[in-house]
Structure 1
Amino acid sequence: MTAGHIRNPVLPGFHPDPSIVRVGADYFLATSTFEWFPGVPVHRSTDLVHWEPAGHILDRADLLDLRGVPDSAGVWAPSLSYHDGRFWLVYSVVRTIGHPYKDVDNYLVTAPDISGPWSEPVFLNSSGFDPSLFHDEDGRTWLLNIQWDPRDGHPAFAGILLQEYDPGKQALIGAPRTVLTHDVLIEGPNVYRHNGWYYLMLAEGGTGWNHGILMARSRELTGPYELDPAGSLLTTRDAPEWPLQKAGHGELVRTGEGEWFLAHLASRPVRTLAGARCVLGRETCLQRVVWTDDGWLRLADGGRLPSLEVAAPRGVAPTPAPVRPARDDFDAPALAPYWNTLRAPATSQWLSLAERPGHLRLRGRQSPHSRYDQSLVARRLTSVRCEATTVVDFRPSHFSQLAGLICWYDTTTHYYLRLTHAEGRGRVLGVVFTDDGAYGELPSCELDVDAWPLVHLRARFDGPELRFAASPDGVSWQDVGPALEATRLSDDYGERLRFTGAFVGVCAQDLGGTRVAADFDWFELRDLAP
């Protein structure tokens, strides 16, 4: 009995740096969230084929404060494990990115159940990012992370550190040891024990087109480690036309039947004249892996390329997950778990589902360039052919008051179909944008909509193109502005470090501080037919 086939990506859209663990019959995947809140979503499965949301781990303000962090900073590379009847999660909070410095703190939280309650964060260290825990057979627990070196003339990725963690003291003990350095950039360390060997799984080459996974092994946890003589276990660096690109950063899980699977990230690029761009960001995939007679790990399908379809585990029945509704009518007392906010949780100071029942009310705050107090809620794109639609009741009285539908990568790159006020005209609808940090407007395409009772807004993604449209009744639509370059909302556009993915959502701004309200009746995000 099998559950059929795993179809990659198993978590489409922005779900990078997957960490996987099995507890009994259940598998759990945790992924990075960077500047988005809540932090670290978890998905659950019993067959590795069908996955359903299982909440977020860092879902309280006391667990995570990201106000002010740069774009693509925040929560990096969480690693989930299970030991002594508890879930353990280690993760990095990065507050400075770029060169030469990385201001990063690594933390640990634990819980008796994946749904919590999660403990207060325990500070571990600040030496580098990508932490993971290894729980050895002798009961000892060890922390691994990379060593970051900001000095000129030295490799920034300066090796893999290992240090023991004492759960009783809730602290690291002993001196950290560098167990491996390499001429190629290595990060994302995880240790596994198998057949008398300690195996070190590493992300290599940086999380871009050169990405891959490399293995090393040692008879002793502290080394010395020998690198796999065959080179990368997984990579697409030599296959630029392969449908899954940037494959790397993985973790292993063993099924109850003794089969091994590798969770890893990959991206599905949109091909453009400017090059390949990954609008959906880095997504979570699964591959079958096997151990060779000489004790090295290999892809079960052979070679080094990730497969789009993989045989499911033996011995489990398929367990389809509930289908996520395309439309949210905002009738529930709380936001659905697929909604995300920037850097901080939604509070009643700026978001309400009760003040006007059946509506999402957003009170305007800071601009789309703010890293502090934005009134914005958004959903991940999971397809590059999709359509987002909403309707807003908004009565601005000043040009500093805005609300509408936003297609988002980060504060430096986004497209915004916004409703505002213009002197002598009343309500107007138009497109503003920020392009790799440069703000712009499209005044020639503005519509006078003061007579419209409600304003329906639409964003349609079609591969490399994005088009906005508006309607007074949801039936008769007219385009607002020209076709826009959707692929600018990607990891691969611009000069900055970018690690997230495209979102679409609704937002409101009141730059005068009066917190005028915008009411959204519903929001729909639907894939388009091929």
Structure 2
Amino acid sequence: MSLIQNPILPGFNADPSIIRVEDTYYIANSTFEWFPGVRLHESKDLEHWSLLPSPLSTTTLLDMRGNSASGGIWAPDLSYADGKFWLVYTDVKVVNGAFKDMTNYLTTATDIKGPWTDPIKLNGLGFDASLFHDKDGRKYLVQQTWDHREYKHPFDGITLTEFDMTTMKLQPKKAKTIYNGTNVKLVEGPHLYQINDYYYLFAAQGGTVFTHQEVVARSKTLDTLSFETEPGDPFITNFDTPDNYIQKQGHGGLVSTPKGEWYYASLCARPWNHKNESSTDPRGWSSLGRETSIQKVEWDEEGWPRIVGGHGGTTFVEGPKDAIQTNAPAEHSQKDDFASSTLDINWNTLRVPFTEKMGSVGNGKLTLIGQGSLANNFDLSLIARRWQAFYFDAEVKVKFDPFSYQQMAGLTNYYNDRHWSFVFITWNEVNGAVIEVAENNRGNYTSYLKDNAIKIPDGTEYVWFRTKVRKESYSYEYSFDGKKFIEIPVVLDAAVLSDDYVLQTYGGFFTGAFVGLAAVDYSGYDRVAEFYNFDYKELGDKVLPDGSYTWKASESRFD
């Protein structure tokens, strides 16, 4: 038996839906505006997880072109019944304001790796929909319910709607509210389980911030408002455990092992503070986004589930007695020489799949055709991967020959269209081809080098770029030979790429930071950039006094 160290899925892996099929566990996570939609992992020991192909890999299943930042895929639900996998997912089109225009869909597959069936439209009643398979053979959609009316609370309880397997449609006239949550409000993320004589409803409350929590309610029927809330403290929360290494735990799912042990997979975060800040206000900056943790669950004498070690959870969790050792990487470094004609599974694009309109990959290079700016929600040539460690270096070799300042190609650290930075080759009137560093912070664009942009010597064919992320801050370097790198004297605050910073000015703050490659040509002349030998090298989660890095974490986020 081993100890599982949290988080089990580091970096942006939010809203986990966990199931077990025989001896294998699966987790589905939200992806929001990043394509392909829904991130899947599998494991046989709950500790080591392998990334699987994403199910929503075509525009037939998912088309998010033009979606707002943090729209798109919210809280997918994965289940298994009748010999196949069922995936319910939401495409949110409106993020800010009174409305949350969305569509919930259902797709199925007999193999977790696909193919997945064409989507069935379910409804747009609310987000965080999940499918409950009752023992009597009936099926129900369980979901948060959205109320746009300004004189009502927008989170209008948990609605249960029967799904007709004959017509493959919901029966809205039979819909009913089964739970209103507590006075904490913002009840969402429902999952329904049938255990012994009870239906157990797990639901999130308090918003997906530091006040986040999960509550449990139960009932012997599925009647309207028949669910009773678990007495005492919330099932899981870190609101009152500010020193815990893991924070924001709440929204998630319950799973049992073959031998009858129970675990709960939850979203979580690992915030950090600047040295001159209070450790409690602000609680911190979650630049890795919302990750996935796991906690062991025991049942009390009254039949209520409780987190082992208390409702704040622990960093280290006792693994299952029947765990089967799973081979999966302990960290997530990535080297890509672009030899394959398809993108590596770790790469993502924004809103739409990688197509010939963006460029091509194979034979040792990635070609990107310049399109819109990094603020564009429609036409953008960018591929990116998650930040999955607090300390890492990422490097790439670039070939680009611009003739206008409207043309840019290079390496980006990116949160959303309003929050990103970019080191890139461009052109200016003073020196021709140059290197610039720019940042978009709350939609305000800043060029850091301006007329002092670094001139690229005549005859130079390639430029190498490197970013060095060091938890609280990050910087960029360049090289003209791939050996000697020169630091650009611009140090950027990593907090700008955190959920918590984005939340201060924008309601969609759900995705975490990415590092990626981009080509821009908003002049419309389709200038092409070539990228070679991308190297994302993780260094660790913590730096030691001697300057080395470690993956070991303590129970406190301040050690």
TM-score (norm 1): 0.97
1:419 aligned residue: 425
Say which SS state the counterpart of residue 246 (structure 1) adopts: coil
Say which SS state the counterpart of residue 515 (structure 1) adopts: coil
Structure 1 position 460 matched with structure 2 position 468? yes
CA distance in 2, matches of 1:18, 1:488: 25
Q: 1:449 aligns with which of 450, 456, 460?
A: 456
- Asked if structure 2 preserves the Cα contact closer than 8 Å seen for 1:425 and 1:450, the reply is no
Q: 1:484 aligns with which of 487, 492, 497?
A: 492
CA distance in 1, matches of 2:115, 2:485: 47
Task: Provide structure 1 residue ranges, at least 5 long, that are not aligned to the other structure.
Answer: none
1:471 aligned residue: 479
CA distance in 1, matches of 2:373, 2:336: 25
- Aligned residue identity for 1:193: Q
1:503 aligned residue: 514
- Asked if structure 2 preserves the Cα contact closer than 8 Å seen for 1:86 and 1:112, the reply is yes
Equivalences, count = 525
Deviates more, 1:448-457 or 1:38-47: 448-457
- Asked if structure 2 preserves the Cα contact closer than 8 Å seen for 1:92 and 1:107, the reply is yes
CA distance in 2, matches of 1:479, 1:316: 47
Structure 1 position 181 matched with structure 2 position 212? no
Structure 1 position 310 matched with structure 2 position 287? no
Structure 1 position 65 matched with structure 2 position 60? no
- Asked if structure 2 preserves the Cα contact closer than 8 Å seen for 1:398 and 1:422, the reply is yes
Say which SS state the counterpart of residue 271 (structure 1) adopts: coil
Say which SS state the counterpart of residue 344 (structure 1) adopts: coil
1:514 aligned residue: 525
Say which SS state the counterpart of residue 398 (structure 1) adopts: coil
Say which SS state the counterpart of residue 487 (structure 1) adopts: helix
State the 1:424 CA deviation: 4.5
Q: 2:376 aligns with which of 367, 370, 373?
A: 370
2:553 aligned residue: none
Deviation digits for residues 376-428 of structure 1 (CA, Å, limit 9, x no counterpart): 00010001111111110111122211100000000000011011011252210
Structure 1 position 396 matched with structure 2 position 424? no
1:74 aligned residue: 72
CA distance in 2, matches of 1:208, 1:30: 21
CA distance in 2, matches of 1:344, 1:6: 36
Q: 1:407 aligns with which of 387, 393, 413?
A: 413
Structure 1 position 526 matched with structure 2 position 537? yes
State the 1:349 CA deviation: 2.3
1:230 aligned residue: 232
Q: 2:101 aligns with which of 94, 100, 103?
A: 103
CA distance in 1, matches of 2:430, 2:329: 50
Structure 1 position 160 matched with structure 2 position 146? no
- Aligned residue identity for 2:416: D
Q: 1:331 aligns with which of 339, 350, 358?
A: 339
Say which SS state the counterpart of residue 488 (structure 1) adopts: helix
- Asked if structure 1 preserves the Cα contact closer than 8 Å seen for 2:358 and 2:380, the reply is no
User: What does 1:96-175 align with in structure 2 at a 5 Å threshold?
Assistant: 96-173=94-171, 174-175=173-174
Task: Provide structure 2 residue ranges, at least 5 long, that are not aligned to the other structure.
Answer: 540-547, 550-559
- Asked if structure 2 preserves the Cα contact closer than 8 Å seen for 1:446 and 1:480, the reply is no
- Aligned residue identity for 2:464: H
- Asked if structure 2 preserves the Cα contact closer than 8 Å seen for 1:17 and 1:249, the reply is yes
1:34 aligned residue: 32
- Asked if structure 2 preserves the Cα contact closer than 8 Å seen for 1:442 and 1:481, the reply is no
Say which SS state the counterpart of residue 524 (structure 1) adopts: strand
- Asked if structure 1 preserves the Cα contact closer than 8 Å seen for 2:373 and 2:520, the reply is yes
CA distance in 2, matches of 1:523, 1:69: 28
State the 1:322 CA deviation: 4.9
State the 1:450 CA deviation: 3.5
CA distance in 2, matches of 1:499, 1:124: 24
Structure 1 position 358 matched with structure 2 position 364? yes
2:543 aligned residue: none
1:204 aligned residue: 205
- Asked if structure 1 preserves the Cα contact closer than 8 Å seen for 2:448 and 2:490, the reply is no
CA distance in 2, matches of 1:378, 1:450: 29
State the 1:481 CA deviation: 3.3
Say which SS state the counterpart of residue 15 (structure 1) adopts: coil
Structure 1 position 379 matched with structure 2 position 370? no
Change (3 A) 1:491 1:101: same
Change (3 A) 1:488 1:424: closer
2:542 aligned residue: none
CA distance in 2, matches of 1:317, 1:246: 29
Structure 1 position 22 matched with structure 2 position 4? no
CA distance in 1, matches of 2:360, 2:186: 46
Change (3 A) 1:388 1:253: same
- Asked if structure 1 preserves the Cα contact closer than 8 Å seen for 2:372 and 2:521, the reply is yes
- Aligned residue identity for 1:48: L
- Aligned residue identity for 1:314: K
Moved over 3 A (4+): 322-325
- Asked if structure 1 preserves the Cα contact closer than 8 Å seen for 2:271 and 2:285, the reply is yes
CA distance in 1, matches of 2:391, 2:432: 34
- Asked if structure 1 preserves the Cα contact closer than 8 Å seen for 2:394 and 2:467, the reply is yes
CA distance in 2, matches of 1:136, 1:370: 44
CA distance in 1, matches of 2:233, 2:154: 22
1:321 aligned residue: 328
- Aligned residue identity for 1:410: N
CA distance in 1, matches of 2:329, 2:272: 29
State the 1:325 CA deviation: 5.1
- Asked if structure 2 preserves the Cα contact closer than 8 Å seen for 1:389 and 1:525, the reply is yes
Say which SS state the counterpart of residue 76 (structure 1) adopts: strand
CA distance in 2, matches of 1:350, 1:80: 31
CA distance in 1, matches of 2:298, 2:403: 65
- Asked if structure 2 preserves the Cα contact closer than 8 Å seen for 1:215 and 1:227, the reply is yes
What's the % identity of the aligned pairs? 40
Q: Which structure has more strand as a fraction of its residues?
A: 1
Deviation digits for residues 479-508 of structure 1 (CA, Å, limit 9, x no counterpart): 223211111101011411211100001000
- Asked if structure 1 preserves the Cα contact closer than 8 Å seen for 2:381 and 2:520, the reply is yes
Aligned-residue RMSD, C-alpha: 1.3
State the 1:99 CA deviation: 2.3
- Asked if structure 1 preserves the Cα contact closer than 8 Å seen for 2:20 and 2:26, the reply is yes
Deviation digits for residues 113-156 of structure 1 (CA, Å, limit 9, x no counterpart): 11111111111111111100110100000101111111122111
